[in-house]
A and B are shown apart, each in its own frame.
Chain A
Amino acid sequence: MKKNKGLFVLIASVLVLTLFSCTNSNSSQNSSNVAGNSAMKVGLITDLGGINDHSMNQLSYEGLKSLHEKHPEIEISYLESKLFSDYALNVETYVNEGYDLIITVGATFIETIMDVANEYPDNKFAIVGVPIPKEFPNVSSIIFANEESGYIAGAAAALTTKTNTIGYVQGMVNDTLNLFGIGYVRGAKSINDDINILMYNANNFADIAGGNVAATNMIKNGADVIYQMAGATGIGVINACADNDIYAIGSDTDQSPIAENNVLLSALQLGDKAVENYVLDFKNNGFKSGTIIQNIANGNIAFAYNDKAIDATVKSKLQKIEKDILNKKITINTNTKDCPEFTLDK
C-alpha cells in the first residue's frame, strides 16, 4: 500500500509536469509567430482582485477587448496576479514576450512599477487608477478625479436628506480612495454647512455582511442617504438601505438594478473607455509619459441617475453642478488637512 501511494504521487507529478512543459514550449512558439507579424501587443496585468473583479481590472480589460474588436491588429492579453509576488514575475513575462505596452492596475502596483521602470527602460508601462509619485520617461498613469465623483454624490445626498444626517462607507483608507470621501464632504457642505456626516472604513472590499451592519448602524443614528465606495461591501450597504427604505448612492457601475427604488444615482468611472482611448492614442501618437487625468470634462466620469428614486429638481440641480465642475466654476480642494470632517484617515 505504501509503495502504491508513492508510485501514484510520482506518476501524477511526472505526467502533469510533462504536460506543462508542453504548454510552455507551445506558448513561446506562438509568441514568436506573432512577433514575426510585427503586430502591436498590449498586455494587462491585474492586481490581486483578478480579471473578474467588477471593478477597474475588469473595466480595463473590457476596454482592451473592445479596442481589439475595432482594431484586430492590436494583440491583447492579460495576466492575473494571484499572489503579491506575482507582480514582478508577470511584468518580467511580458517584457520577455516583447510586449509594446504593459498596463497595470491598482495602488499595490506602484512600487513594482517604479522598480521595473528603472530595470527595463526600453519598455513602456501604464498604471491605472493611481498617480506615480516620481516622473519616469516610460511610465504613464491614468487616474480618475475621484473627488468629482464624491462631490456630486455629496451634493445629491445633502439635497435629498430630510434628517440632515448622511452616511459614507469606504472600502479602504489610502490616498486615492480618500479623495472620494473628501469630495463627498465638500459636496455635502456646499449645499448645507451644518450637515452631519457619518463615516465608516470597512477595510474590506468583499464583506457584504459587514457593509450591511455598517449601514444599519448609520441608519440607527439617523442617516437617510448613504454613499458607498466599497466594492462588494457596498452591495451590503445598498441592501441595508433598501431594507430600511432610505436612499443609497452607488459607485463604479450603475447599481440601480440592486434596489430600483432606493439608489438615487451611481457615480460611474468609465475605466474601459479611458483605457481604450489611452491605448488608441498610444497606437496613433506614440507613448506619452506622465499623468493622464480622467474627469467629468472628458466624459470618463459620469453619473447614472435613477429617475425612479431621484427627485427631478434635485437631478437638475446636480446636472448644473456637473456643468459647473466641467466649466471649472467649482474647484474642489482635496487637501485632507483642510477637511477636518473627513475622519477616516485619523
Chain B
Amino acid sequence: MAHVFDVRTAIYLLTALAFTITSKGGVFNIGVEGSFIISSIVACTVGILFGFLTPILLIPLCILSGIVASCIYNVIIYMLKTWCGINEIFSMIIFNYIALHLSNFIVKLDMIKSTNGADTTQRICENAMIVGRNRPVVSFILATVLCIITYLIIKYKPIGHNINAIKSNPKVALLSGINIDRTLFYTYMMSSFISGYAGGFYVLSISRRISVLSGFEGYGFTGILIALFADSNPVLLIFASLLFGAIKNAGRGLNLLNIPSQVIDLIMCIIILTSAIYYTNKRKKHGVH
C-alpha cells in the first residue's frame, strides 16, 4: 500500500475540494494551483524562521499563515473581478504564473535559501514537521471530514442554496434578492481556505522544503481533474482522489519493473476519455447540450 497511498492523496482531495466549492458557484477556479504554491511557500518560510516555537504553536501557525496567504491571493483575484470586471479565468491563469515566479523568488532569498548551494530552501525546523507513520491515513480522514462538511453546507445551509441559485441562473438569483458578490466572495474564501490548508499541510508533512520550480507541479491541476471526474460531487471526490492518487503514485512501481512511467499518463488519459464519452452520451440522451 505504501507505494500507492501517501499523503499526496489527501492533498489531491483537498485541492479537488477547493475547486469543487467554487465550481458550485459557476466559477472555474483554475487558480487552485497558484494559491497552493503561495500557501506552501509562505508556510515553508514560517516553518524555517519561527523554529524556536513549540510544535503545538508552530504547526497551526504555519498552516494558518498559508491559509492567510492563499486568502489574500484570492481576494486580489476577486477584487479584479468585481471592481475592474476582469474575467476571473484570465486573472487566475496570470496569477498562477505570478505565484510560481514569486515562489521561485522567495526560495532564493538569503534568509531561507539552502546553505549548501542547492536550488531549494532550507529544511523546515523539526518543530514544524508533521511526523508519524500513519499520517497518510490521518490526513486523508481529515480531508474526508472537510469534504463531508462542505457537502452538508452546500446541501443544507442557506449559503449553499444561494450558491446553487447563482450557478443555475445569476439573473434570477439577483432578482430574488441574493447578494451575488457577497456569496461569491464566501465561496472564494472557502476555496482559498482549503487550498491554503492543502499547501501548508503539504510542506509540513511531505516536502519539508520548497525547490525552485521550472514549471507547475500540478497539485492544483490534478485536483481540477479529479473534481471534474467526480462531477463536482464532494462525496464522490473521496473515491476519485483515491483513484487518481493511486495512479499518480504507481509510476514508481512500474519503473521498478522497467516499464516507463508514462504508461501512467496513458491510463489516466484513457480513464478521462472514457468518462468524458460516458457523460456526454448521458447528457445527449437527456437532451442537454
State A10–B71 Cα separation when bound (angstroms): 33
Q: Is A38 interfacial (CB 8 A cutoff)?
A: no
Beta-carbon contact of B251 and A80 below 8 Å: yes
State A244–B209 Cα separation when bound (angstroms): 44
Q: Is A149 interfacial (CB 8 A cutoff)?
A: no
Interface string of A140-182 (1 = CB under 8 A from B): 0000000000000000000000000000000010111000000
Q: Is A192 interfacial (CB 8 A cutoff)?
A: no
Q: Which residue of B lies closest to A132 (CB)?
A: B116
Beta-carbon contact of A9 and B240 below 8 Å: yes
Beta-carbon contact of A31 and B256 below 8 Å: yes
Q: Which of A6, A17, A172 contacts B236 (CB 8 A)?
A: A6
Beta-carbon contact of A20 and B253 below 8 Å: yes
Contacts of A131 in B (CB 8 A): 117
User: Considering only CB atoms and an 8 Å cut-off, how many residues of chain A contact the other chain?
Assistant: 53
Contacts of B275 in A (CB 8 A): 8-9, 12
Chain B contacts with A in 240-286, Cβ cutoff 8 A: 240, 242-243, 246-248, 250-258, 260-261, 267, 271, 275, 278-279, 282, 286
Q: Which residue of A lies closest to B247 (CB)?
A: A16
Q: Which of B231, B250, B278, B286 contacts A23 (CB 8 A)?
A: B250
Q: Is A79 interfacial (CB 8 A cutoff)?
A: yes
State A111–B206 Cα separation when bound (angstroms): 14
Q: Is A82 interfacial (CB 8 A cutoff)?
A: yes
Known: A16-B271, A79-B256, A115-B123. A85 touches B4 (CB 8 A): no
Q: Is A93 interfacial (CB 8 A cutoff)?
A: yes
State A262–B90 Cα separation when bound (angstroms): 41
A-B residue pair count with CB separations less than 8 angstroms: 140
Q: List the one stretch of B77-85, B163-171, B177-185, B211-219 in contact with chain A.
A: B211-219
Q: Which of B116, B215, B243 contacts A110 (CB 8 A)?
A: B116
Distance between B275 CB and nearest chain A CB, rounded to angstroms: 7
Contacts of A132 in B (CB 8 A): 116
State A107–B278 Cα separation when bound (angstroms): 45
Chain A contacts with B in 171-227, Cβ cutoff 8 A: 172, 174-176, 204-206
Beta-carbon contact of B236 and A9 below 8 Å: yes
Dominant secondary structure at the A interface: helix
Q: Which of B117, B248, B282 contacts A1 (CB 8 A)?
A: B282
Q: Is A313 interfacial (CB 8 A cutoff)?
A: no
Contacts of B202 in A (CB 8 A): 85
State A1–B210 Cα separation when bound (angstroms): 43
Known: A12-B275, A20-B4, A27-B253. A110 touches B242 (CB 8 A): no
Q: Which of A9, A80, A133 contacts B229 (CB 8 A)?
A: A9
Q: Is B8 interfacial (CB 8 A cutoff)?
A: yes
Beta-carbon contact of B118 and A107 below 8 Å: yes
Beta-carbon contact of A111 and B214 below 8 Å: no
Q: Is A26 interfacial (CB 8 A cutoff)?
A: yes
A84, A93, A131: most-surrounded residue (chain B CB, <10 A): A84
Beta-carbon contact of A17 and B243 below 8 Å: yes
Known: A8-B275, A12-B275. A85 touches B207 (CB 8 A): yes
Q: Which of A90, A108, A206 contacts B212 (CB 8 A)?
A: A108
Q: Is A30 interfacial (CB 8 A cutoff)?
A: yes
Beta-carbon contact of B279 and A5 below 8 Å: yes
Beta-carbon contact of A12 and B243 below 8 Å: yes
Distance between B156 CB and nearest chain A CB, rounded to angstroms: 18
State A17–B279 Cα separation when bound (angstroms): 22
Q: Which of B123, B207, B253 contacts A84 (CB 8 A)?
A: B207
Beta-carbon contact of A20 and B214 below 8 Å: no
Contacts of A280 in B (CB 8 A): none
Q: Is A4 interfacial (CB 8 A cutoff)?
A: yes
State A77–B259 Cα separation when bound (angstroms): 10
Distance between A97 CB and nearest chain B CB, rounded to angstroms: 7
Chain B contacts with A in 98-149, Cβ cutoff 8 A: 114-120, 122-123
State A77–B260 Cα separation when bound (angstroms): 11
Q: Is A277 interfacial (CB 8 A cutoff)?
A: no
Interface string of A53-91 (1 = CB under 8 A from B): 000000000000000000000000111101111100110
Distance between B163 CB and nearest chain A CB, rounded to angstroms: 18
Distance between A165 CB and nearest chain B CB, rounded to angstroms: 30
Q: Is B233 interfacial (CB 8 A cutoff)?
A: yes
Beta-carbon contact of A85 and B118 below 8 Å: no
Contacts of A5 in B (CB 8 A): 231, 233, 236, 279, 282
State A204–B242 Cα separation when bound (angstroms): 34
Beta-carbon contact of A206 and B214 below 8 Å: yes
Contacts of A31 in B (CB 8 A): 256
Beta-carbon contact of B230 and A17 below 8 Å: no
Contacts of A130 in B (CB 8 A): 117-118
State A69–B3 Cα separation when bound (angstroms): 30
Contacts of B243 in A (CB 8 A): 9, 12-13, 16-17
Q: Is B6 interfacial (CB 8 A cutoff)?
A: yes
Beta-carbon contact of A111 and B253 below 8 Å: no
Q: Is B239 interfacial (CB 8 A cutoff)?
A: yes
State A248–B145 Cα separation when bound (angstroms): 59
Beta-carbon contact of A27 and B257 below 8 Å: yes
24 A-B residue pairs with CB within 8 Å: A5-B233, A5-B236, A9-B229, A9-B230, A9-B236, A10-B236, A13-B243, A16-B246, A16-B247, A20-B253, A24-B1, A79-B255, A82-B248, A83-B218, A84-B207, A85-B202, A89-B252, A108-B212, A110-B118, A111-B120, A114-B116, A130-B117, A130-B118, A174-B117
The 7 closest A-B pairs by CB, nearest first: A110-B118, A13-B243, A85-B207, A133-B116, A13-B239, A84-B211, A20-B250
Other than the given A24-B3, A82-B251, A111-B114, 19 more pairs (CB < 8 A) read A12-B275, A13-B242, A16-B243, A17-B4, A17-B242, A20-B246, A23-B254, A27-B3, A30-B256, A48-B214, A77-B258, A80-B251, A80-B255, A83-B218, A83-B219, A93-B252, A108-B119, A111-B209, A134-B116
